[in-house]
Structure 1
Amino acid sequence: MTRIVVDNTRCVGAAQCVLTAPDLFDQDDDGLVMVLEENPGTERVKSANTAATLCPSQAITIQES
């Protein structure tokens, strides 16, 4: 199972995650990342990994269990 974990203390609000995977990420009123689906299905794991890679502050981690 894949799990998306975010560290809001690292988020700089660049919104690369939202632009890359708007079905998985959004931003709160302060511009910080919010996870819309913590456990994405297999078809969305690639998007989650791309968003994590593009995050300039490395605030997104994809965990596999």
Structure 2
Amino acid sequence: MLKIIADTERCVGAGQCVLSAPDVFDQDDDGVVTLLDETPGAEHADDVRQAALICPSQAITVQEA
């Protein structure tokens, strides 16, 4: 099981997370990351990990339980 933490203070609004995992991430009107699902299923695991890796501000943390 994954748990995602998005640091909205650190987010620079690049949107790479949304492109990588659109079922899990979105952006608010200011472009800041929002989570659609804080604990996505295994089917999203690879996309979520990729989003965390390519986030330019390293605002996404993925915890695996």
TM-score w.r.t. the length of structure 1 is: 0.95
Distance in 1 separating the partners of 2:47 and 2:56: 16
Percent of aligned positions that are identical: 60
Q: What residue in structure 2 maps to residue 44 of structure 1?
A: 44
Q: What residue in structure 1 maps to residue 60 of structure 2?
A: 60
Distance in 2 separating the partners of 1:29 and 1:52: 21
Report the number of matched residues. 65
The 3-state SS of whatever aligns with 1:45 is helix
**Runs of 5+ consecutive residues of structure 1 not aligned to the other structure:** none
Following superposition, which runs of at least 4 residues in structure 1 exceed 4 angstroms of deviation?
none
TM-score w.r.t. the length of structure 2 is: 0.95
Over the aligned positions, Cα root-mean-square deviation in angstroms equals 0.7
